[in-house]
Amino acid sequence: MTSVLRRILNLSKDDLYRSSVILFIGSVAGGVASYLFQIIMGRMLSVATFGELNTLLALTTIIGIPFASITNYLAREVAGLQARDQAESANTFVLSNYRWILSIGLLPCFLLGASSGYLSGYLKMEQPVALVLLAVMIYVTLATSINRGVLQGVQNFWMLSFIPAGIGFSKLLFCVALVYLGYALAGVMTGIVVGSLLVFIVSFIPINRAFRQGFSPYTAETNPGARFLPILMANLAFAVLSQSDIILVKRLFTAYDAGIFSSAAIIAKIVLYLPTSLSLALFPMVAFDSHRGDRTLHYLSRSLLLTIAIALASVFVLYLFPQQLIALLFGDKFKVAAELLGPFALAVAPMTLVHLIMTYDIARGQVAAAYVMLVAAVVQVVAIYLLHDSLEQVLDVILIVNSICAGLLLAMTLITVDRQSPDKETNP
C-alpha cells in the first residue's frame, strides 16, 4: 500500500499536483466519513430532525466565516515569513495569534449559547441545547482553524490532510454511538464537539514541536487589519453563497421540504467539495512565490483545468444516477430528492470556480474579488427570498448568480495578474 502511494505521489514533479494528491487523500477520506455520517443520520433521524441537523451545520459554516479567514490570513503570513527564512519570527507571530484569537472568540460563542432560546424559536427547532453545543463546537473549530493556517503556511500537507479525515471519522464514531443511545440531535452535536477536540490536539503536535526551536521578534510590515478584512469579506461572501440556501429553505419551506432539500444538497455539493484539495495546495504556493516576486499564473491555469474536469465529471454522474444515489444513500423516504439532484449539482458547479479564483486572489494579496462576491451573496439571498415558488426555482437562482460571479472574477483576475507564464518551475 505504501509503495503504491509513493508511486502515485511521484507521477509528477510538479509540487502543486503532488501536494494536491496528498490533500485529496485526506479530503476523500474525510468526505467518505462525512457522507457515511449523513447517510446514517438520515436513516437514524426523522426527516424533520435531519433538516434541523443540516441547518445547524450550515449555521456553523456561516458563523465560522472568520475562522476560514483566520486560516487564510495565518497561512499567507506564515508562508511569507518562511519565504524570508524567518521561522523563529513565525513562531512569535503564531503564538500571539493563538492568544488574541482564542480570547476574542469567547465572546461570540458565549452570545450564541445565551441566545439559543430565541434562535431555536426562529429556526423552528425543538432542542435549544443543540444550539448551546453548537457554540462549543464553533469555539473548538476556531482553535483548529489556527492550526490549519499554520500547517498550510509551512506546507505540512500530511498533517493538513489528516484534519478532515480525523474530524470525519471521529464524528462518525461518536455521533452514531450517541444517537443510538437515544440522544438524537443533542447527541450528534456532542459527538461533533468531542471528535473536533481530539483532532485539534493531534494537529497541534507539529506546531508545538516548531515552537521548541525558539522565538524572535516579529514586526508586521503593514496593518494586520488591512490584510485580514478583505479575506474576511471574501470568506463571508462564499459562505453565504454556498450555505444560505439550506438556511433560507428551512425558513421559507416546510420542515419536510427542508429535509428533502438538505439530502439533495449533501450529495450535490460533492461537486463543490471534491476540488478543494487543489485550493488548499494552491494557496501557500502562490503566497510563497508572491512574497518572492515570482509569477504565479501557471498555478491558476493548472488548477482551473483540474477543477473544471472534476466538476463536470461529478455533474455528469449525478445527472445519470439520481434515483440510485438517493436510494443507496438515504433510502425511500428521501426518494423525492432525486428530481433535484442533477439540477442541484449543475447549480453549485460554478461555485468551484468562485472558490478557486477567490483562493488564488487572496494568496496574491488582491482584494477586488471580495467586493464582487459580497454583491453576489446579497443578490442571491434577496433573489431566493423573492423567487421561491419551488425548490427548483431556488436552484435556478443559485446557478445564475454563481455563473455570473465566476465569470466576473475570472475576467478581473486575468486583467490584474501577470499574463506571461514562467519558463521555470517554482522552487519553494
Structure confidence at residue 221 (pLDDT): 58
| Phi, psi for residue 269 in degrees, rounded to 5 | -75, 5
Instruction: Give CA–CA dist 46/34, Å, rounded.
Output: 18
Instruction: Give CA–CA dist 281/283, Å, rounded.
Output: 6
DSSP codes, 74-109: HHHHHHHHHHTT-HHHHHHHHHHHHHHHHHHHHHHH
Residue reference for cell 505504501: 2
Structure confidence at residue 398 (pLDDT): 93
Instruction: Give CA–CA dist 161/27, Å, rounded.
Output: 7
Residue 26 has pLDDT above 60, yes or no: yes
Structure confidence at residue 92 (pLDDT): 86
Q: 0.85 cut: is pTM over it?
A: no
On whether the CB atoms of residues 419 and 297 are closer than 8 A, the answer is yes
- What b/e string do you get for 140-164 counting C-beta neighbours within 10 Å, with b at 16 or more? bbbbbbbbbbbbbbbbbbebbbbbb
Which of 16-20, 86-90, 193-197, 284-288 tops mean pLDDT? 193-197
Q: What is the pLDDT of residues 115-173, one digit of tens each?
A: 777 777 776 676 777 788 888 888 888 889 899 888 888 888 888 888 888 888 888 88
Structure confidence at residue 222 (pLDDT): 55
Instruction: Give CA–CA dist 391/250, Å, rounded.
Output: 11
Q: What is the pLDDT of residues 330-368, one digit of tens each?
A: 777 788 888 888 899 999 999 999 999 988 888 887 778
CA pseudo-torsion sign 410, 414, 420, 426: negative
Q: What is the pLDDT of residues 30-51, one digit of tens each?
A: 878 887 887 888 788 877 778 7
Structure confidence at residue 224 (pLDDT): 59
On whether the CB atoms of residues 189 and 137 are closer than 8 A, the answer is yes
Name the strand (E) or helix (H) holding 325. helix 322-329
On whether the CB atoms of residues 209 and 333 are closer than 8 A, the answer is no
Residue 11 has pLDDT above 60, yes or no: no
Residue reference for cell 521555470: 424
Q: What is the pLDDT of residues 81-117, one digit of tens each?
A: 877 777 788 888 888 888 888 888 888 788 877 777 7
Domain boundaries, the chain: 11-416
Helix 129-153 × helix 87-114 angle, to 10°: 170
**Alpha-carbon distances of 427 from 98, 255, 359, 362, 420, rounded to whole Å:** 30, 53, 21, 21, 18
Residue 423 has pLDDT above 60, yes or no: no
